[in-house]
Structure 1
Amino acid sequence: MYNFIVPFDDNEQEIRLTERFARHARDFDDLQNEMAGRDVGRIARFLPDSANSTDPSGRSKDERAEALTRLQLMLIENPAYVALFEETANILTEAQSRLDVLLERVRAQIDQSTTELEDKLDRAARLPDGTRVFKDQNGQIRTQDGAVVAADLAATVLWNGDELSFEDLQAYIAHLNRLTKLESDIQSGQAEIGDMQAAMDDDDNPPSEDDLESFGQRGQDIVDALEQDMAETLTKAAPATEPDQTASRPTATIIVPEL
Structure 2
Amino acid sequence: MSDFTSQLQMLLANDPEYRAAYERTWDVLTDAETRAQSTIDALEAQLERDEAALEALTRSAASLPDGTKVFRAADGSLKTQEGTDVSHLSDHVVWRGDEPSWEDYRDQQARTENLRGDLDAWRYYQVETLGHARDRLSDEDNPPSVEELDEIQRDIEAKMPQAPEPTEPAEAADIAVSPAAKIEIPAI
CA distance, structure 1, for counterparts of residue 121 and residue 9 of structure 2: 35
- Number of the residue aligned with 2:120: 184
Q: Structure 2 length as normaliser, TM-score? A: 0.81
- The answer as to 2:43 corresponding to 1:79 is no
Question: Which blocks of at least 5 consecutive residues in structure 1 are unaligned?
Answer: 1-46, 48-63, 247-259
* Counterpart contact for 1:171–1:238, Cα < 8 Å: no
Tell me the distance in 2 between the aligned counterparts of 1:77 and 1:150: 77
Cα distance in 2 between the residues matched to 1:150 and 1:160: 17
Contact in 2 for aligned 1:113/1:176 (Cα 8 Å): yes
Give the drift of 1:72. 2.3
Shift of 1:164: 1.7
Matched residue, 1:110: 47
Displacement after TM superposition at 1:156 (Å): 3.0
Cα distance in 2 for residues equivalent to 1:97 and 1:150: 50
Instruction: Give the unaligned 5+ runs of structure 2.
Output: 180-188
Paired amino acid for 1:116: A
Identical-residue share of aligned pairs (%): 30
The offset of 1:79, in angstroms, is 0.5
Greater CA radius of gyration, 1 or 2? 1
1:238: Cα distance to partner?
4.5
| Cα shift at 1:222 | 3.5
Deviation (angstroms), 1:88: 0.9
CA distance in 2, matches of 1:70, 1:202: 9
Residue 64 of structure 2 corresponds to residue 134 of structure 1: no
Report the 3-state secondary structure (helix = DSSP H, G, I; strand = E; otherwise coil) of the residue aligned with 1:142. strand
- Contact 2:125-2:159 at 8 Å conserved across structures: yes
Contact 1:92 1:193 in 2 (8 A): yes
Instruction: Tell me how far 1:70 sits from its aligned partner.
Output: 2.3
8 Å contact kept, 1:84–1:209: yes
TM-score by length of 1: 0.60
Moved over 6 A (4+): none
For 2:119, the aligned partner's letter is E
Alignment partner for residue 148 of structure 2, among 195, 211, 214?
A: 211
- Any idea what the Cα deviations from partners look like across 1:179-218, whole Å, max 9, x if unmatched? 1111111111111211111111112211111111121232
Aligned equivalents of 1:140 and 1:98: distance in 2?
Answer: 45
Once residues 91 and 85 of structure 2 are traced to their aligned partners in structure 1, the CA distance between those partners, rounded to angstroms, is: 13
8 Å CA contact 1:196–1:215 kept in 2: the answer is: yes
What's the RMSD between the two structures over aligned residues?
2.3
